[in-house]
Amino acid sequence: MNGDRAAVSLPGVTTAPIPTGAAAPAATVSRTRLLWLTLRRKPLGAASAALILLLVLSAIFANVLAPYDPLETHPEIRLAPPCREHLFGTDDIGRDVLSRIIYGSRISLWVGLLAVGIGTVAGMIIGLVCGYWEGRIDLALQRLMDAVQAIPGLILALAIVSVLTPNTTNAMIAIAIVIIPGNSRIVRGAVLSAKQNRYVEAAEALGCRNLHILVRHILPNVTAPILIIASIWLGNAILIEATLSFLGLGTQPPIPSWGLMLSSTGRAFMEQAPWLAIFPGLAISLAVLAFNLFGDTLRDAWDPKLRRQG
């Protein structure tokens, strides 16, 4: 039965119509369908999608879901181990850890979405310009991207945040900057191969303007790799935000951020109260894992060729 299903969906993968500008709505439908088929075939992919949904819902409905106020202190029950009233225990000033984790998903997701959004759009524009016009501008911009990439992402983000002041917004900006070069390179590659298509040549021959060709004929070819990379970057962005906050250069107290919870109370009381270190770390790991796995699933569904480049 399993093999049967694979046989049904495999032709769908290999013979997926290459989306063109004119067929944009149809292409969207078929991509969603491809994703759906893959999700049904791969339990891990479905699980990751469910986890992401859970994360999004807990961020949106944090005020309904959280049993307590994440900032409310109860010194009389400080460092209480997990129990029925406080499923994940309480921290050193008696705040409920579960509520703080639920509210923390807002920070993680917000930073992740905005950073990846900015980084992806900027990277995409640079990649489109480089891939479409090539020549000198391509050479210059790509060397600039090389230069940014020469500095490891986390160290660059640390330096950027320390120059601006450490807070959530600046952490987000720093992460966005870290994302740009890799994205621009992937988009550039996709544009270079999309340009080989006959219909691009035809559009040029018809006298279409550059912008029109870029947006209507080339961009649709580039969206699949962009979305795949964006999903993986979302996980990474959450990880970098947590790391920055852990090092004291991201979200500042008392705002509940997962990385901050780990460093401020998790490490200080880890022997008396290991739950303070375990649960926030678990939240980060699961969120990042979900986006990584979902990225892999998207890749399997839309672009088997990309598999090697990850």
Partner 1 sequence: MYKYVLRRVLLAVPVLLLSSLIVFGLMRVMPGDALTVLMAESGNIGEKELQKLRKDLRLDLPYHEQYLLWLWQMVSLRPGDSLLTGERISTSLWKAIPVTLELTALAMVLGLAIAVPIGVLSATRQDTTSDYAGRMVAVSGLSFPDFWLGTLVITFAAIWFKWIPPIGYVSFWESPTRNLQQFLLPAAVLGFRLSAATMRMTRSTVLEVLREDYVRTAWAKGLGGRIVVYKHALKNALIPVVTVIGGQLGVLLAGAVVIETIFALPGMGRLTVEAILYRDYPVVQTNVMLVAATLVTLNLVVDMTYAWLDPRIRYR
**Least distance between partner 1 and beta carbon 164 (Å):** 8
Q: 217 Cβ partners below 8 Å, 6+ apart? A: 20, 21, 194, 197, 199, 200, 203
Specify the residue, 223 or 263, whose C-beta has the smaller distance to partner 1: 263
Residue 150 vs 206, nearer CB to partner 1: 150
Nearest distance, CB of residue 284 and partner 1, angstroms: 5
Q: In whole angstroms, what is the distance from residue 65 CA to residue 61 CA?
A: 6
Q: Which is nearer to partner 1, 208 or 306 (CB)?
A: 306
CB atoms within 10 A of CB 34: 20
Terminal-residue alpha carbon distance, the chain = 30
Q: Rg for the chain (alpha carbons), in Å?
A: 22
Q: Shortest gap between Cβ of 74 and partner 1 (angstroms)?
A: 24
| Cβ at position 246, least distance to partner 1 in Å | 5
Helix (H) / strand (E) element for 49: namely: helix 43-60
Q: Which is nearer to partner 1, 220 or 280 (CB)?
A: 280
Q: What is the DSSP string of 102-145?
A: HHHHHHHHHHHHHHHHHHHHHHHHHHHHHHHH-HHHHHHHHHHH
- Angstrom CA distances, 265 to 92, 105, 163, 199, 262, stand at 7, 18, 26, 59, 6
- State which residue, 219 or 287, has the beta carbon closest to partner 1: 287
Residues at the site binding partner 1, with contacts judged by CB under 8 A: 143-144, 146-148, 150-156, 158-160, 162-164, 235, 239, 242-243, 246-249, 259, 262-263, 266-267, 270-271, 274, 277-278, 280-281, 284-285, 288-289, 292-293, 296, 307-308, 310
Work out how close the CB of 127 gets to partner 1 at its nearest, in angstroms, rounded to a whole number: 18
Q: How many CA atoms lie within 13 A of 227 on its CB side?
A: 18
Measured from the CB of residue 210, what is the shortest distance to partner 1 in angstroms? 27
Q: How far is the CB of 232 from partner 1 (least distance, A)?
A: 9
| Structural contact between residues 103 and 61, judged by C-beta atoms closer than 8 angstroms | no
By beta-carbon proximity to partner 1, the closer residue of 154 and 208 is: 154
Taking CA 87 as the corner, what is the angle to CA 81 and CA 92, rounded to the nearest 5 degrees?
45
- Give least dist CB 67 to partner 1, A: 24
φ, ψ (nearest 5 deg) of residue 124? -65, -45
Task: Kindly state the DSSP code that residue 265 receives in the 8-state scheme.
Answer: I
The token duo for 65 is 């879901």
Closer residue to partner 1 (CB): 162 or 210: 162
Burial class, 96, CB count within 10 angstroms (exposed 0-12 / middle 13-18 / buried 19+): buried
Of 80 and 156, the one with the shorter C-beta distance to partner 1 is 156
